[in-house]
Amino acid sequence: MRFIVCYKWTLDEEDIRVDRETRALALDHVRQRISPYDRNAIECGVRLAEEQGGEAVALSVGGPEVADSLKDALSRGPAHAVWVGCPELSGADAAAVAKTLAAAVRHIGEYDLLICGEGSSDYYNQQTGPRLAALLGIPAVTSVSGLTLSGRVLRAERKLEEGLEIVETDLPALVTVLPDIGEARIPNLKQILAAGKKPVVRLTPAELGLGPEALEPRARRESLLGTVADRKRIVLRGEGAVAELLTKLRAEGRC
Partner 1 sequence: MYDMTLSQEEQLMLQSVREYSENVIAPAAKEADATGEFPWDVVKKGIELGLHALPIPEAYGGAGISSVLMSILAEEMSKACAGIATTLGATGLSCYPVLIAGNEEQKKLYFDTIMAGALGAFCLTEPGAGSDSGSVAATAERDGGDYVLNGSKTFITNGGVAGIYTVFATVDRSRGLKGLSAFMVERGRAGLSVGKEENKMGIRASNTTDVVFTNVRVPASHLLGREGDGFKIAMTTLDRSRHSVGAQAVGICQAALEASIRYANERKQFGKPIGANQAIQFMLADMATQTEAARWLVRRAAWLQDQGLPYSMESAMAKTFAGDTAMQVTTDAVQIFGGYGYSRDYPIEKLMRDAKIMQIFEGTNQIQRVVIAGRLLKA
Partner 2 sequence: MAKLWVIAEKADTAVELLAWAKELGPAEQLVCLTGNPAAAAAAAVQGADRVLLFSGAARPEAYVPDWLALAQREEPAAILLGADRRAKEIAAALAAGLDAGLVSDCVQLRQGEGEGYYSERYIYGGLALLGETTTRRPLLATIPAGKVTPLPARAAVAVENMSGTRPDPVRLVELRPQPSVSALTEARVIVCVGRGLLKQEDLRLARDLAAAFGGEIGCTRPIAEERRWLPEKCYLGITGQKAAPELYITLGVSGQIQHMSGVRDSKCIVAVEKNDAAPIVEAADYTIIGDLYEVTPQLLAALKDQGGGR
The C-alpha atoms of residue 144 and residue 160 are separated, in whole angstroms, by 9
- One character per residue 151-190, x = contact with partner 2 (rule: CB under 8 A): ----x--xxxxxxxxxxxxx--------x-----------
Beta pairing partners, 9: 34
Cβ-proximal residues to 191 (8 Å cutoff; 6+ apart), any chain: 75, 76, 77
Which stretch in 57-65, 108-116, 184-192, 235-243 sits in contact with partner 2 by CB under 8 A?
235-243
The C-alpha atoms of residue 42 and residue 195 are separated, in whole angstroms, by 14
Select from 109, 150, 163, 189 the one that contacts partner 1 (CB under 8 A).
189
Which run of H or of E encompasses 153?
strand 153-160
Whole-angstrom CA distances from 171 to 41, 85, 118 are 17, 28, 19
- Find out whether 86 and 206 touch, Cβ atoms under 8 Å: yes
Task: Give 166 or 193: the residue with its C-beta nearer to partner 2.
Answer: 166
Taking CB within 5 to 8 Å according to partner kind, which of partner 2, partner 1, none is near residue 76? none
Q: Which of residues 22-51 bind partner 2 (CB under 8 A)?
A: 25
Q: Does 240 bind partner 1 (CB under 8 A)?
A: no
Q: Does 241 bind partner 2 (CB under 8 A)?
A: yes
- Find out whether 78 and 57 touch, Cβ atoms under 8 Å: yes
Q: Does 193 bind partner 2 (CB under 8 A)?
A: no
Q: Which of residues 204-233 bind partner 2 (CB under 8 A)?
A: 216-227, 229, 231-233
Q: From the CB of 149, what's the least distance to partner 2, in Å?
A: 15
Q: Does 243 bind partner 2 (CB under 8 A)?
A: yes
Q: Which of residues 41-100 bind partner 1 (CB under 8 A)?
A: 68, 71-72, 75
Taking CB within 5 to 8 Å according to partner kind, which of partner 1, partner 2, none is near residue 26? none
230-252 exposure pattern, b = at least 16 Cβ within 10 A, e = fewer: eeeeeeeeeeeeeeeeeeeeeee
Q: Does 193 bind partner 1 (CB under 8 A)?
A: yes
Taking CB within 5 to 8 Å according to partner kind, which of partner 1, partner 2, none is near residue 196? partner 1
The C-alpha atoms of residue 255 and residue 250 are separated, in whole angstroms, by 5
The C-alpha atoms of residue 42 and residue 5 are separated, in whole angstroms, by 6
Interface residues with partner 1 (CB under 8 A) are 68, 71-72, 75, 186-190, 192-193, 195-196, 237
